[in-house]
Structure formats: structure tokens, C-alpha cells
Amino acid sequence: METRVAVIGIIVENKDSVSELNKLLSEYGDYIIGRMGVPYHKKGINVISIAIDAPQDVINTLSGKIGRLDGVYAKTAYSNV
């Protein structure tokens, strides 16, 4: 199956959603190339970027599930490769 490389940018404003977010990321761990998380204490948020190589429908599903978490926002940027 054809895959695409993408980056999912995530902003976490509600710390109560972190465990559910981590559960989702573990569920899709076979597709994740890398993850970087940065706590921004001054604003009380966390900024996370996920590099992923997966079929487009898998990326869309993961991004959608992340975006439905309370106080968590996600945007996806796709490569052309």
C-alpha cells in the first residue's frame, strides 16, 4: 500500500487529555517516524510534532482522533513523496 510522509503539529491546552493523546500515539506507533514534544511553561501548553509515514487514510484518521480530544488541536502537513 502506498504511504505518504507527513508532520502532525499538535497543541495541547488541556493537560487532562495527555494520557488519551499518548494512548492514541502508541496505538499508531508502527507508523510514527519520530516525535518531539516541547512544554511551553510560560503559556501553560505543550507543543508536539509527529513525523509519520503511513497511508493517507491512516494519517487522516489519527489527526482527526487527536483533534477530537478536549483542548487538543492538530494540523497536518503532507509531503509530495
Structural domains of the chain in order of their starting residue, each with its CATH number: 4-78 (3.30.70.1150)
CA angle 40, 4, 53 (to 5 degrees): 55
Confidence (pTM): 0.92
6's grid cell: 507527513
- Tens digit of each residue's pLDDT (9 = 90 or more) over 1-47: 899 999 999 999 999 999 999 999 999 999 999 999 999 999 999 99
Distance in angstroms (rounded) separating the CA atoms of residues 14 and 72: 7
